[in-house]
Amino acid sequence: MTTRMDGFRKRTRHKFKKDHGLKGKISIRKFLQKFDVGDKVYLSVEPAYQKGMYRPKFMGKNAVVLRKKGTCYEVKINDLGKDKTLIVHPVHLIKVK
């Protein structure tokens, strides 16, 4: 078999596209977000920052913060009836009100 040369960002041209008015520098406010254990968050990719990014299939899911792990957060999502744990940078999270 051949070795695949593609990363997980394959076929995401339109999914990771930013709106025209949002292009440019990333807000420092998104980097310094703080979340508490049990907070509900929304997974939203920041395509300009690749560290702590999750697979594109989880984009748009709701999650619950389990704990802080270094500079990232460990979150739990439900994917087709199974609980899964992701490690996500706070740039890619939005707090649900």
Which pLDDT score, from 0 to 100, does residue 24 have?
84
Go through the domains of the chain in sequence order and give each one's CATH number: 28-95 (2.30.30.70)
Mean pLDDT by 10 residues, the chain (97 residues): 78 86 87 95 92 90 96 95 96 94
Which pLDDT score, from 0 to 100, does residue 18 have?
87
Burial of 68 (0-12, 13-18, 19+ CB in 10 A): middle
Q: What is the CA radius of gyration of the chain?
A: 14
Q: What is the Cα–Cα distance from 86 to 1, expressed in whole angstroms?
A: 30
